Amino acid sequence: MAIKSVGVIGAGQMGNGIAHVFALAGYDVFLNDIDEARIDKALGQIEKNLDRQIGRGAITEADKADALGRIAKTTDLVPVAQADLVIEAATENEKIKNQIFASLAPHLGERTILTSNTSSISITRLASQTDRPERFMGFHFMNPVPVMELVELIRGIATDQATFEELKQVVASLGKTAASAEDFPAFIVNRILLPMINEAVYTLYEGVGTVESIDKAMRLGANHPMGPLQLADFIGLDVCLAIMNVLHDGLADTKYRPCPLLVKYVEAGWLGRKSGRGFYDYRGEAPVPTR
């Protein structure tokens, strides 16, 4: 099966990045969201990101025009379901994801491959709610999608080898590198990354260091390009908390207990960059630590 068309569900930060890289690689893309204004915002962001690539000499104006011309916006799931490949990139909530796959079911093409960009939820469990668990996989892109080279490919217990091979080829066609992960909570990247971020929050919570000193220590002492609290704000504190809850619930180990301070920030609506405040306050000219 030659995959030529891709349906992307969710026009948020991840969805618009996924649509961007597929359109630039020559695929026809259906970008879907329940909110048309959100799709328009996503298309504006895609255009800005393409301009950045032009500025770096990575692509040409013609490449940008071709890519934008390949993206069709839709609030209707029917054309998305008819694509060769569907990538669900909605919020990190299993109930919502299951509702989306249920809505797609009556309209799916016979050979359509279903995938989820989930960062932590069981692929086996999501696949079991569909009519094609053998053609269902985790397709986890890293943020920001146009920049990050890795894609985690996660097989559920029923995923067949042909589906894995097809998606591995798709990843290569995007100019990215695939890493195969088994279907355990949070897979590889977030199984390692999120406990580190959670420990950084505990370090702040216990008064070992300030926001500024913790991030400076990890940037200069461990050569990380971004401090863990700055990174948490970039990911979204609600997403960080959701992944920690999946790890804690799925592995039943107290070392994955979300830090109470992380919970408190999320309860306050301080979710990071996207809400204007998190471990840093982004409402001024430069980010300022909130603790």
What residue numbers does the annotated binding site for NAD(+) cover? 10-15, 33, 92, 97, 119, 143, 274
- What would the two tokens of residue 228 be? 């863990």
The total number of residues shown for the chain amounts to 291
Q: Cα separations (Å) of 192 from 105, 151, 152, 246, 265?
A: 34, 16, 14, 13, 22
Q: What is the 3-state secondary structure (H, E, C) of the chain?
A: CCCCEEEEECCCHHHHHHHHHHHHCCCEEEEECCCHHHHHHHHHHHHHHHHHHHHCCCCCHHHHHHHHHCEEEECCHHHHHCCCEEEECCCCCHHHHHHHHHHHHHHCCCCCEEEECCCCCCHHHHHHCCCCHHHEEEEEECCCCCCCCEEEEEECCCCCHHHHHHHHHHHHHCCCEEEEECCCCCCCHHHHHHHHHHHHHHHHHCCCCCHHHHHHHHHHHCCCCCCHHHHHHHHCHHHHHHHHHHHHHHHCCHHHCCCHHHHHHHHCCCCEHHHCECCEECCCCCCEECC
Enzyme catalytic residues: 119, 140, 152, 190
> Residues within the annotated binding site?
10-15, 33, 92, 97, 119, 143, 274
